[in-house]
Amino acid sequence: MARPGAGREEPCSRLRGWRLLAGVGMVLLAGCSTIEPLIESPASLDGEGGALTSEQAEQKARAAARPLDHVSLRAKYRRPAELPDGARASGPVVALGHKLFHSTELSGNRRIACVTCHLPNAAWADRKAKPIADNGRPMARRSQTLYDMAWASAFLWDGRQDSLAGMVSGPIASPDIMGLSLDAMVQRLAFSPEFSADFERVYAGVGPTPETVSDALAGYMNTLRSPATRFDRWVKGDERALTPAELRGFKLFNGKANCVACHSGWRFTDEGFRDIGLKDTGDRGRGRIKPQIESLAFAFKTPTLRGVAERAPYMHDGSIATLEAVIDHYDRGGVRRPSLSPDMFPLGLAAQEKSDLVAFMRSLSGPATSAHQADPEAMPQ
């Protein structure tokens, strides 16, 4: 939960052609290959105590002043009906990408596939704090959801790639993830009667290459859109779609709780990187990529909240088990240190307010046909 732009040291370019949109980053939003040794943090305390900095006070006041009327809020959260220009692939490309995504041929020991860490029933993430790599060891970070990646502009928890296509050599070749060199991948697919025929049919005269593998996976991954939910029905004008608690939680989300400062727009992410005050485990996140920028130490990418109820545990390290515990963390304000986002401060939420926030976040998961309250209260204006 942090203000838009905080910790974003440079703009990320929006991808254009469908050949670049979803490369093999596919999976592998799952983890990073190496993590720095444990480092010492400055003395810190968990949110409580101590006066707010001037920046924190400014952001707290800004959160309290945001307009919370239905009309302005609905306009900010309306989801697009179609994929971005250039993100739609042909049927044969999507079919080949689906086959590759579910195949263990892309891992060195044939132990895992993309779908191993990105399960359809877990919002295309998984339910493990640390997924197990092809070498049998836990990965460094937990899997990220693949929902709506066609709209993403930064990739992996630390943002070290600015395109999905740019990640083709990393996750597959990394010994800490899939453990298969790109040369070995191409050779394996070329010598597979089934896959060689598939690639000749879809990419005639080219066959399997890092680029065509990436292209096919891109076409498939761009079809992994988050489902419309009851929240989306409410955005379209159905006043009965959300319960009173969910509506109260939505107001808190956009106001006092300051969630929208970071989880903004219909995808509920602004693609930024922030230190939200989690315990120092030695993983510096974006700070490892940009060590000269103090505010990026311990900063990780803001994840989408689409499907959030389906993919516990939470945070880059899977250290928080439930949505209730997530809210408690933000309410406390996190570990105080120089890199802590100024949007992190004690919120002073009451028990009912916490419950309402969780209820709202759960409305971002599940089908739009879920049952709803017969007579919901109007959200306070």
Does one domain contain both 76 and 88?
A: no
Check which CATH number belongs to the domain holding 242 and give it: 1.10.760.10
What was the pLDDT predicted at 61? 75
Does one domain contain both 73 and 99?
A: no
Does one domain contain both 151 and 246?
A: no
User: What region does 277 belong to: left with phi over 0, alpha with psi -120 to 50, or beta?
Assistant: left
Does one domain contain both 173 and 243?
A: no
Give the residue from 166, 193, 221 where a domain finishes.
221
The residue with tokens 């790639």 is: 161
On whether residue 379 sits in a domain, the answer given is no
E runs forming strands in 99-258: none
What was the pLDDT predicted at 11? 35
What was the pLDDT predicted at 163? 76
What was the pLDDT predicted at 43? 36
CA 256 to chain centroid, in Å, comes to: 23
Does one domain contain both 62 and 97?
A: no
Radius of gyration of the chain (CA): 21
For residues 231 and 364, give the distance between their C-alpha atoms in angstroms, rounded to a whole number. Answer: 6
Does one domain contain both 333 and 353?
A: yes
Does one domain contain both 68 and 186?
A: no
Which three-class secondary structure state does DSSP give residue 335?
Answer: strand
| Residue type present at position 55 | E
What was the pLDDT predicted at 13? 36
Give the residue from 189, 221, 253 where a domain finishes.
221
On whether residue 2 sits in a domain, the answer given is no
Does one domain contain both 76 and 121?
A: no
For residues 100 and 114, give the distance between their C-alpha atoms in angstroms, rounded to a whole number. Answer: 8
**Predicted model pTM:** 0.80
Does one domain contain both 314 and 213?
A: no
The HSE-up count of residue 346 (CA atoms within 13 Å, CB side) is: 12
Is the CB of residue 274 less than 8 Å from the CB of residue 262? yes
Which three-class secondary structure state does DSSP give residue 111?
Answer: coil
On whether residue 109 sits in a domain, the answer given is yes
On whether residue 7 sits in a domain, the answer given is no
What was the pLDDT predicted at 28? 37
What was the pLDDT predicted at 39? 28
Give the residue from 155, 187, 221 where a domain finishes.
221
Task: Per-residue pLDDT tens, the chain, 381 aa: give them.
Answer: 444 444 444 333 333 333 333 333 333 334 433 333 322 333 344 454 567 788 777 777 777 767 677 788 888 999 999 999 888 999 999 999 999 999 999 999 999 999 999 999 999 999 999 999 999 999 999 999 999 999 998 889 999 887 777 666 678 888 999 999 999 999 999 999 999 999 999 999 999 999 999 999 988 999 999 999 999 999 999 999 999 999 999 999 999 999 999 999 999 999 999 999 999 999 999 999 999 999 999 999 999 999 999 999 999 999 999 999 999 999 999 999 999 999 999 999 999 999 999 999 999 998 764 433 322 233 332
- Give the count of domains, the chain: 2
Rounded to 5 degrees, what angle do the CA atoms 258, 264, 268 make? 110
Is the CB of residue 131 less than 8 Å from the CB of residue 111? no
Does one domain contain both 75 and 173?
A: no
What was the pLDDT predicted at 10? 39
- Identify which of 112, 28, 121 has the alpha carbon closest to the alpha carbon of residue 311: 121
On whether residue 376 sits in a domain, the answer given is no
Q: Which domain holds residue 329?
A: 54-81+227-362
On whether residue 340 sits in a domain, the answer given is yes
On whether residue 367 sits in a domain, the answer given is no
Taking each helix axis from N to C end, the angle separating 91-101 and 210-221, rounded to the nearest 10 degrees, works out to 100
Does one domain contain both 255 and 198?
A: no
Does one domain contain both 63 and 172?
A: no
What was the pLDDT predicted at 180? 96
301 membership: H or E segment, kind and range: strand 300-301
On whether residue 12 sits in a domain, the answer given is no
